[in-house]
């Protein structure tokens, strides 16, 4: 007999195999998921979930696809959270502190409770990246927030109403576009393609017979 | 920390680690690869396929599970919806909001078209989001689009449509630049040079990455740009049928609200199918690395409307799906783990294949090692081999794993396995649909005004796709499709809408003697446990 645990989905009890995740346990219990299920691999942030273990005070936050069930788990899913996403023109913004003040001024109302960091299922230092955003250090904000899956759990715990994932998204785009040096070899290659300089080599390749191209493939040198 | 049953094998792996890490295994000859594939690759198991009886590809073989969906009944027919009063009337309808759909939306918008997107889950719920390893582009000095062409075309067994590969490789550097200018954070050196590595089957180091969140970083940036442009997206809204006009051109779709079952009609001048792949069809019973919605819907929608498929019998089994523990069974272990120096070893710790052969060859080699050769590890949930991840830090220095593949490190650490110190167990997982809708260089299918881009398309990768060419594919062909479909709207006058082709399809099903109760597209897999409904739950 496989080991089972009792869990409570929205307060209702189900006995499920102990090695399931919260997501697969819901399916085992009979839920055909529509909301709250995306990549099933911890990348998309669709399955934000809140739970409490019976007899304990602490509310825990997790991704349902990444978290194994435990006995006495009281589970509520949070398949959508109303984050604030401000629109902007990436070509027209400038990567300085003003842009945060304009688009996400609520970050300056952070009370430093650190609830966002404690709740992050990716283990990110969320409050710290918001602090970086406040002072316009977008590179630090981008680095600290890079592994964010935008599940919105942090924001659900925030007394200041900050939409952390969207703040970080803006910081990363600013950093990627404006603050990181351009790849010169890339610009050069694009220029050469646009100037038609690769066309002869491409046509030569395209016009090879099947036999010639097989030979070229099988004998090509491979960079070490 | 692994249970005791794996420890003996792990000790063998550890004993040979230094020696294995230094080893440069021989690559297989073309002939050896062909023989290995024919004997062990799942695409060659004839009994897993059947010939289609109806439609544009009648007589061609496809997996049973796909045949069932392609030859199932439409969900609706003429008369079920009011085609004369569409709920939306737009220039371009894009079905799917993953990488290809969002790239297409941006370019169609840029072309001045009025765009509507529909997706059955959320925007960004797509295989693009889960692509870990990277994106190819020949942008270094020692590399060229022609060299990239050779790798892609040869890796696909000389079966790809050359004119599509041409677009893929020549537009690649420009599209990397475009992504970077949108704010995608590629891994770079201090001076801005791209950090690039090998992938299986590449002859130059041209794999660009964003740690091992490459797809997620590209996806979230494209989605953010779509939102910035205020392009409307109908989420949790599936397309269940392409609408045509009386001239036989695609002219919209019937959409289904996944939560309320409401049906409504979109009329559009052009339609782009960007519905992605099919891992959740679980061909041959394989687990999958794909997202929840990967159910081949686009193939069904296109096929029923009259579009031809190309290479629908070729699937990609990613050699390194997580095989242990069960909570991550089938999840992707990025090829980048091997790019960075980890090798595949058997239960005795022996290297049995060069780590950077193409994916089909790697998968076949693992299936041979665990099958006929009996050198696998029994996980309790099937066979597996070791991917000796500690080799990475051994070769590149401590900290490499945390820095370059943080998602992998996190995934295993959550299960109590420290991949910096312990090897990981892997087995092939259903990863990618190599085949799909046949398109021309304008991304148009065989149906007038019906475009396709991304994984739903066949022909770009031949019979096997290289790592890093799918993220590239969604961007290149997503943009191209959006541009073409957007510009073409100026020349299109939509005729009278019709769903007559669904009735015609049903007629063909019955004339072919196909006895089925199934309806398609599938929309979502069913993972609900079959229950004994005679006994209720215990009363507390």
Residue A87: inside a domain: no
Cα distances (Å, whole numbers) of residue A124 to A36, A149, B536: 21, 10, 43
pLDDT digits (tens, 9 = 90+) for A69-115: 999 999 999 999 999 999 999 999 999 999 999 999 999 999 999 99
**pLDDT of residue B20 exceeding 80:** yes
Q: Show the domain range for B337.
A: 4-40+316-430
pLDDT, position B536: 56
pLDDT digits (tens, 9 = 90+) for A156-183: 999 999 999 999 999 999 999 999 999 9
Average pLDDT, chain B: 96
Cβ distance of A35 and B259 shorter than 8 Å = yes
Residue B49: inside a domain: no
Buried-state track B295-324, b at ≥16 Cβ within 10 A, e below 16: bbbbbbbbbbbbbbbbbbbbbbbbbbbbbb
pLDDT digits (tens, 9 = 90+) for B153-162: 999 999 999 9
Q: State whether A174 and A202 are in the same domain.
A: no
Q: Indicate if B338 belongs to the active site.
A: yes
Q: State whether B210 and B223 are in the same domain.
A: yes
Query: Would you call B74 helix, strand, or coil by DSSP?
Result: strand
Q: State whether A101 and A174 are in the same domain.
A: yes
Out of B182, B194, B228, name the one closest to residue A183 (CB).
B194
Q: CB atoms < 10 A from the CB of A59, how many? A: 13
Q: State whether A104 and A175 are in the same domain.
A: yes
Q: State whether B100 and B141 are in the same domain.
A: yes
pLDDT, position B77: 87
**B58 secondary structure, DSSP code:** T
Tell me if B148 sits within 8 A of B165, measured CB to CB.
no
**Cα–Cα distance measured from residue A148 to residue A125, given in angstroms and rounded to the nearest whole number:** 10
Q: State whether B118 and B207 are in the same domain.
A: yes
Please, what is the Cα angle at B424 between B188 and B385, to 5 degrees? 120
Q: Which CATH number is B298's domain given?
A: 3.50.50.60
Instruction: Check B17, B223, B280, B338 and give the catalytic one.
Output: B338
Q: State whether B396 and B440 are in the same domain.
A: no
Q: Show the domain range for A214.
A: 184-218
pLDDT, position B485: 98
Q: Report percent pLDDT > 90 for chain A.
A: 99
| ipTM tops the 0.85 cut | yes
Instruction: Check B208, B291, B318, B354 and give the catalytic one.
Output: B318
Given pLDDT bands bounded at 50, 70 and 90, which one contains residue B78?
confident
pLDDT digits (tens, 9 = 90+) for B443-502: 999 999 999 999 999 999 999 999 999 999 999 999 999 999 999 999 999 999 999 999
Out of B220, B258, B410, name the one closest to residue A150 (CB).
B220
Q: State whether B280 and B347 are in the same domain.
A: no
Residues forming beta bridges with residue B250, ordered by sequence position:
B244
Mean pLDDT of A15-22: 95
Residue B50: inside a domain: no
Mean pLDDT of B357-368: 96
Q: From A42, A77, A112, give the residue that closes a domain.
A: A77
Cβ distance of A90 and B144 shorter than 8 Å = no
Residues forming beta bridges with residue A21, ordered by sequence position:
A68
User: Rounded to a whole number, what is the distance in Å from the CA of A158 to chain B's nearest CA?
Assistant: 22
Q: State whether B295 and B366 are in the same domain.
A: no
A68 touching chain B per CB within 8 A: yes
Q: State whether B394 and B266 are in the same domain.
A: no
Q: State whether B214 and B323 are in the same domain.
A: no
A210, with CB counted inside 10 A (0-12, 13-18, 19+), is: exposed
Q: Indicate if B45 belongs to the active site.
A: no
**pLDDT of residue B532 exceeding 70:** no
Q: State whether B135 and B154 are in the same domain.
A: yes
Q: State whether A101 and A158 are in the same domain.
A: yes
pLDDT digits (tens, 9 = 90+) for B105-140: 999 999 999 999 999 999 999 999 999 889 999 999
**pLDDT of residue B540 exceeding 70:** no
Cβ distance of A30 and B524 shorter than 8 Å = no
**Cα–Cα distance measured from residue B399 to residue B404, given in angstroms and rounded to the nearest whole number:** 9
**pLDDT of residue B408 exceeding 60:** yes
Beta strands in chain A (DSSP E): 4-9, 12-17, 48-53, 60-63, 73-77
Q: State whether B465 and B414 are in the same domain.
A: no
Cβ distance of B227 and A194 shorter than 8 Å = no
Mean pLDDT of A16-45: 95
Residues forming beta bridges with residue B263, ordered by sequence position:
B256
Q: State whether B149 and B268 are in the same domain.
A: yes
Domain count, chain A: 3
Residues forming beta bridges with residue B384, ordered by sequence position:
B377
- In chain A, which residue's Cα lies nearest the Cα of B150? A217
Residue B73: inside a domain: no
């Amino acid at each position: 007999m496989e080991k089972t645990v009792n869990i409570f989905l929205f307060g209702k009890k189900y006995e499920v195999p102990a090695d399931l995740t919260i997501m697969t346990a819901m399916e085992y219990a009979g839920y055909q998921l529509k909301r709250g299920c995306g990549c099933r691999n911890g990348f998309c942030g669709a399955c934000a979930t809140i739970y409490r273990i019976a007899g304990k005070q602490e509310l825990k936050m997790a991704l349902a696809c990444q978290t194994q069930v435990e006995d006495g788990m009281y589970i509520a899913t949070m398949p959508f959270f109303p984050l604030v996403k401000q629109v902007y023109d990436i070509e027209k913004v400038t990567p300085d502190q003003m842009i945060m003040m304009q688009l996400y001024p609520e970050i300056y109302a952070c009370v430093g409770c650190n609830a966002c960091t404690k709740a992050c299922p990716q283990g990110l230092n969320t409050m710290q990246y918001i602090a970086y955003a406040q002072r316009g250090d977008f590179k630090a904000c981008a680095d600290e927030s890079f592994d964010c899956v935008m599940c919105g759990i942090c924001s659900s715990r925030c007394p200041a109403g900050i939409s952390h994932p969207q703040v970080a998204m803006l910081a990363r785009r600013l950093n990627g576009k404006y603050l990181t040096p351009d790849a010169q070899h890339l610009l050069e290659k694009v220029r050469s393609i646009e100037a038609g300089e690769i066309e002869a080599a491409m046509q030569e390749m395209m016009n090879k017979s099947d036999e010639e191209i097989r030979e070229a493939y099988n004998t090509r040198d491979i960079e070490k | 920390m692994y249970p005791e049953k794996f420890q003996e094998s792990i000790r063998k792996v550890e004993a040979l680690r230094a020696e294995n890490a230094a080893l440069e295994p021989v690559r297989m000859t073309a002939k050896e690869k062909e023989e290995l594939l024919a004997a062990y690759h799942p695409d060659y198991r004839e009994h897993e396929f059947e010939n289609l009886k109806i439609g544009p590809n009648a007589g061609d073989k496809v997996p049973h599970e796909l045949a069932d969906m392609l030859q199932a009944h439409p969900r609706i027919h003429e008369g079920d919806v009011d085609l004369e009063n569409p709920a939306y009337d737009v220039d371009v309808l894009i079905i799917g909001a993953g990488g290809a759909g969002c790239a297409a939306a941006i370019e169609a918008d840029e072309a001045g078209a009025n765009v509507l997107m529909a997706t059955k889950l959320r925007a960004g719920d797509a295989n693009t989001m889960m692509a870990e390893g990277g994106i190819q582009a020949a942008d270094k000095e020692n590399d060229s689009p022609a060299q990239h062409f050779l790798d892609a075309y040869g890796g696909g067994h000389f079966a790809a449509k050359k004119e599509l590969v041409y677009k893929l490789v020549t537009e690649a550097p420009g599209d990397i630049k475009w992504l970077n200018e949108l704010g995608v954070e590629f891994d770079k050196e201090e001076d801005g040079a791209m950090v690039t590595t090998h992938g299986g089957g590449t002859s130059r180091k041209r794999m660009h990455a964003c740690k091992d969140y490459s797809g997620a970083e590209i996806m979230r940036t494209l989605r953010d740009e779509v939102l910035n442009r205020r392009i409307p997206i109908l989420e949790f809204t599936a397309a269940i049928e392409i609408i045509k006009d009386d001239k036989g051109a695609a002219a919209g779709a019937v959409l289904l609200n996944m939560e309320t079952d409401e049906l409504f009609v979109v009329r559009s001048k052009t339609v782009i199918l960007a519905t992605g792949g099919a891992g959740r069809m679980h061909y041959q019973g394989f687990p999958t690395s794909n997202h929840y919605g990967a159910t081949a819907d686009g193939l069904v929608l296109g096929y029923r409307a009259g579009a031809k498929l190309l290479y629908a019998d070729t699937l990609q089994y990613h050699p390194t799906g997580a095989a242990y523990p069960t909570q991550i069974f089938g999840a992707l272990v990025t090829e980048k783990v091997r790019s960075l120096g980890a090798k595949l070893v058997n239960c005795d710790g022996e290297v049995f294949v060069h780590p950077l052969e193409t994916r089909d060859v790697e998968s076949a080699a693992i299936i041979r090692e665990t099958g006929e050769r009996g050198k696998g590890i029994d996980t309790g949930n099937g066979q597996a081999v070791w991917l000796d991840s500690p080799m990475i830090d051994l070769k590149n220095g401590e900290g490499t794993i945390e820095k370059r593949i943080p998602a992998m490190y996190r995934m295993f650490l959550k299960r109590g396995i420290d991949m910096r110190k312990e090897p990981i167990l892997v087995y092939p997982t259903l990863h990618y649909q190599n085949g799909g809708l046949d398109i021309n260089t304008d991304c148009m299918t065989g149906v007038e005004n019906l475009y396709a881009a991304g994984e739903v398309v066949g022909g770009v990768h031949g019979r096997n796709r290289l790592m890093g060419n799918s993220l590239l594919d969604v961007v290149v062909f997503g943009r191209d499709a959006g541009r073409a479909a957007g510009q073409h709207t100026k020349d299109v006058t939509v005729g009278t809408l019709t769903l007559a082709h669904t009735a015609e399809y049903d007629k063909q099903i019955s004339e072919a003697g196909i006895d089925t109760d199934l309806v398609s597209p599938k929309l979502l897999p069913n993972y609900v446990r079959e229950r004994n409904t005679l006994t209720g739950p215990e009363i507390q």
